Chain A
Amino acid sequence: MTVEISVDLANIHLSVPIIAASGTYGYGDEYQPLLGHQAWGAIITKAVSLKPLIGNPPPRIWETPCGLLNSIGLQNIGIERFIKEKCPIYKSLNIPVIVNFFGFSIEEYGEMAKLLDSIEVIKAVEVNISCPNKKETGMIFGHDPKLTFQVTAAVKENTNLPVIVKLTPNVTDIKNIAIAAKDGGADILSLVNTVSGMAIDIESGLPRLGGITGGLSGPAIKPIALKMVWDVAEVVDIPIIGIGGIKEGPDAIEFFMAGASAVQIGTAIFSDPTSPLKIKDYIVEFLKRKKMKSINEIIGITHQKLKEKMERINR
């Protein structure tokens, strides 16, 4: 019996519902000599901005129990060099390449979307809204429903590519942000970005990270991320990509059941670059064991199961 694990999100066909998360996989070319890209349904590039950014001073990472704090500071080569140096590499890949990008003003997001729209090898954009609006109040776009709406709309106006909006977990109520992104025209939501965190060197009394605070990823944040996917799946009907601490097959299954149509793997590839392959194999075996024909049969199933259970109890 064969099982179908491919999914279609907006216009993106993923032969495997597993995507390399932005930031952990560079521009895609760095990991290629190690494993090729066979493990992935798609890859998402490191975040790109209009101008190059040098990033934060080191140390940029600090390992925590079951987690990783990072403060890379969005270092990137800028859109011009990205188009010139990296996009040609993507022509030879037979998997979709999704570009993660950000801006420091709503206009910059629009401008970036326009520039990326014209590049044939790019199959979708993922909008990073976890950075500050430097032009105005300095507030992080993704912390505010109105700014989230405006950014998404600006991107949507400037591209025909499928638009994924990547949500930050560092908010009071992620449902409001998710709805705002959807209303702004998002085709897909991906969640969550890293959770704000910090570590202190008790000998020196100084922060462990050169950037002072950072973003936590890895298994430590999985329950937080899962709950947010669960919440967002209750309020929007567009596809969700689950991200946050997925390390092994069962982790991915949980995200599908909570309502994700695909997952991203990031930090897990550091401890095991073959983890996406293992997760893929686990998903196939799991579906076979459950006598299911398609991954679609488990997407959001927990919402249904819980509803049925509540009905039984209340009968």
Chain B
Amino acid sequence: MFEARGKIIKNQRLSDRIFILTIDCEVVAKNANPGQFVMLSPPKITNLTLRRPFSLYNVIDDKQLSILLKVAGKGTQLLSTLTPEIELSLHGPLGNGFPLPNPSKKLLIVAGGVGAAPFYFFAHKLKNNHIKPIFLLGGKTKNEIPFYEDFKKIFDSIFITTEDGTIGKKGMITDYLNDFIEDDILIYASGPIPMLKKIALIAEKNDLDWFLSLESYMACGVGACLSCVVPAKNEQQKYLRCCKDGPIFSGKQIAWERYDC
């Protein structure tokens, strides 16, 4: 991990609240793995106290990194207004990253909303390893998943749902999940907690291995402050640090019944 300065290269507004921010930051970019994240400092931090964690959406030429940003509060609002040439502080890459799946297994990726972010970077790694997953993407409405075009280009097999039917099948992605379940299929997931909880039930019922990316309110991002903990199944260690023990976990590590959302 590195403490670094990054320069904004591009800020693409994909829809009302969704942006892709591209940042020139070689030292972080070239050391990053899919599933890892960065902590971004809104510039001229006014009355904000914390950096914001973002999954790496992509790494370009080992020099630039991009993040998928959804305006949700003051920090993301500020970051969404950044224009090229502005510099900001960040540290990363942080966290553990996705394990490379066993190429002999069938891979199913399930993404909800901006939870899809780490899978774009991951897709490149899968491609390099000749792994061809089925990619399921769900959102509330088309405007909440405007990046689906990016994913269409990189995954051969893609299935989309929206709750209002503005694109893809109507409904939640988990409504259709059973159609894709096969014996011994491996699931990677990222998205809202209710979605992950439903996957947990399906994975348990079918005795499937699965991995997921979690997010949490974070302060340090390096495992020191113990702010971002998530409930762990292991009774000895009741909580796991999202930032350091994760953000990628095996589904079996998490005590879903204690996960409040």
Tell me the A residues contacting B by CB distance below 8 Å. 23-27, 30-31, 33-35, 46, 54-55, 57-68, 70, 72, 75, 210, 218-219, 267, 269-274
Chain A: minimal CB distance from B40 (Å): 11
Closest to A68 in B: B49
| B61 interface hit (Cβ, 8 Å) | no
Secondary structure dominating the interface of B: loop
Closest to A76 in B: B226
**A238 CA / B26 CA spacing, docked (Å):** 49
A270–B48 CB distance below 8 A: no
B225–A24 CB distance below 8 A: yes
Contacts known (A54-B238, A60-B227); A30 close to B50, Cβ less than 8 A: no
* Other A-B pairs, 14, CB within 8 Å; known A26-B224, A34-B222: A24-B224, A31-B224, A33-B222, A54-B238, A55-B229, A57-B231, A57-B258, A61-B225, A63-B48, A65-B47, A68-B49, A269-B220, A270-B220, A271-B49
Question: Which B43-67 residues have a C-beta within 8 angstroms of A?
Answer: 45, 47-51
B226–A75 CB distance below 8 A: yes
Contacts known (A58-B216, A273-B3); A30 close to B48, Cβ less than 8 A: no
Contacts known (A33-B1, A271-B49); A61 close to B217, Cβ less than 8 A: yes
Residues of A within 8 A of B89 (CB): 272
Residues of A within 8 A of B51 (CB): 270-271
Q: Which of these, B49, B220, B239, contacts A63 with CB under 8 Å? A: B49
How many residues belonging to B are interface residues under a CB distance threshold of 8 Å? 33
Chain B: minimal CB distance from A130 (Å): 17
A61–B227 CB distance below 8 A: yes
Q: Which of these, A58, A61, A75, contacts B260 with CB under 8 Å? A: A58
B41–A25 CB distance below 8 A: no
B2–A57 CB distance below 8 A: no
| B109 interface hit (Cβ, 8 Å) | no
Residues of A within 8 A of B220 (CB): 24, 26, 30-31, 269-270
Tell me the B residues contacting A by CB distance below 8 Å. 1-3, 41, 45, 47-51, 75, 89, 91, 216-220, 222-231, 238-239, 244, 258, 260
B3–A34 CB distance below 8 A: yes
Contacts known (A35-B3, A65-B47); A60 close to B224, Cβ less than 8 A: no
Chain B: minimal CB distance from A51 (Å): 13
Top 9 A-B pairs, shortest CB-CB distance: A26-B224, A30-B224, A54-B238, A61-B227, A65-B47, A30-B223, A270-B219, A66-B47, A68-B49
**A250 CA / B223 CA spacing, docked (Å):** 29
Residues of B within 8 A of A267 (CB): 49, 219
**A271 CA / B91 CA spacing, docked (Å):** 10
**A277 CA / B217 CA spacing, docked (Å):** 26
Interface centre among A64, A67, A270 (most CB of B within 10 A): A270
Closest to A35 in B: B3
B217–A62 CB distance below 8 A: yes
Chain A: minimal CB distance from B1 (Å): 5
B1–A75 CB distance below 8 A: no
